[in-house]
């Protein structure tokens, strides 16, 4: 039986994302399992784990907006930029006021340049940066453009400042904490991190690892699976005719005017759209080619795409 779907898991501290994926693979017996966005071992919160054909949608989940709650420890910098690292410098943050932190945060809203941490999985010369860091070798890193949509100041009790961050793909909250400390002139590191949301998947709706393991023991684990298309609720969606479904499954393109979109659903070049069978199953992700006036299949799924009922 082809099992496909998405788990929204509340990852506890102390687990790597890979360990959670390995646990799901072992318990489910499904070979194709992957996560859609790594969480550091010390971080907690939403970890989206895809099974079966849903793994083919993980790239779209990773592009989704994310929300984090972060505790920033003012006055101490570390080599990893978080609480797991070795302290590098220490300063007295007692003269930092709440207003100063709020004012400093405004500089980080919008599109900003951010230098990735040395302790990260980004590649340099074919090797992840953390290997250079562990060998105490510094590598020059280019700043990357990232987007922070919202920064909300939640609490302030020296030396901790708690913030909520809504951001785009590729944003390092550790780097944000470090840069905030530099902006304040006292240094800082990330003391704790919880991921509250990844796209449509929220912490309130996530299942804990004990809940997940219990569901496997009781044989009802598939009830915790979200259908693969739950990752894409805001996308355009169309229902294909049987003839169109056959064509798409063979990789054929569809004329733009053959899909029934409402006048309000204006499309742009390269826009992606969910395409469903007459029975409501996800058939494909199609991409709009404005020059050719065609919808081209980007990803085509097997017939039993949606999560099975337990």
Which residue numbers are catalytic?
40
Provide the angle, in degrees to the nearest 10, between the axes of the packed helices 209-218 and 17-28: 10
User: Cβ neighbours of residue 126 under 8 Å, at least 6 residues apart?
Assistant: none
154, 207, 223, 237: CA torsion to nearest 10 = 30
3-state SS class at 270:
coil
CA count, 13 A, side-chain hemisphere, 69 = 11
Q: Which of 18, 1, 20 is nearest to 10 (CA)?
A: 20
Burial class of residue 227 (count of CB atoms within 10 Å of its CB; 0-12, 13-18, 19+)? middle
> Strand pairing partners for 146?
112
Residue 176 host element (H or E): helix 173-184
Straight-line distance from the first to the last Cα atom of the chain, in angstroms, rounded to the nearest whole number: 12
Q: Which of 154, 81, 148, 91 is nearest to 117 (CA)?
A: 81
């Amino acid at each position: 039986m082809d099992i496909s779907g998405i788990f929204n898991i509340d990852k506890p501290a102390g687990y790597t994302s890979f360990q959670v994926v390995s646990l799901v693979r072992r318990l489910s017996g499904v070979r194709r399992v992957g996560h859609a966005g790594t969480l550091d071992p010390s971080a907690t919160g939403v970890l989206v784990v895809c099974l079966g054909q849903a793994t083919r949608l993980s790239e779209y989940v990773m592009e989704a907006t994310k929300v984090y709650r972060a505790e920033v420890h003012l006055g101490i910098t570390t080599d990893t930029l978080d609480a797991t690292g070795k302290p590098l410098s220490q300063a007295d943050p007692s003269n930092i006021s709440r207003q100063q932190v709020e004012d400093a945060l405004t500089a980080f809203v919008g599109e900003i340049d951010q230098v990735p941490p040395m302790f990260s999985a980004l590649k340099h010369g074919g090797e992840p940066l953390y290997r250079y860091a562990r060998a105490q070798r510094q590598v020059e890193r280019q700043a990357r453009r990232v987007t922070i949509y919202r920064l909300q100041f939640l609490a302030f009790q020296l030396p901790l400042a708690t913030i909520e961050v809504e951001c785009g793909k590729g944003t390092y909250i550790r780097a944000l904490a470090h840069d905030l400390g530099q902006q304040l002139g006292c240094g800082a590191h990330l003391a704790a991190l919880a991921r509250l949301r990844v796209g449509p998947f929220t912490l309130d709706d996530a299942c804990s690892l004990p809940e997940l393991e219990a569901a496997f023991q009781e044989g009802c684990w598939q009830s915790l699976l979200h259908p693969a298309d739950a990752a894409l609720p805001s996308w355009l969606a169309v229902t294909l005719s049987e003839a169109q479904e056959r064509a798409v499954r063979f990789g054929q393109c569809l004329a733009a005017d053959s899909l029934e979109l409402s006048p309000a659903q204006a499309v742009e070049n390269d826009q992606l759209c969910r395409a469903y069978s007459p029975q409501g199953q996800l058939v494909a992700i199609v991409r709009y080619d404005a020059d050719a006036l065609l919808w081209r299949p980007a990803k085509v799924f097997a017939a039993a795409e949606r999560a099975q009922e337990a």
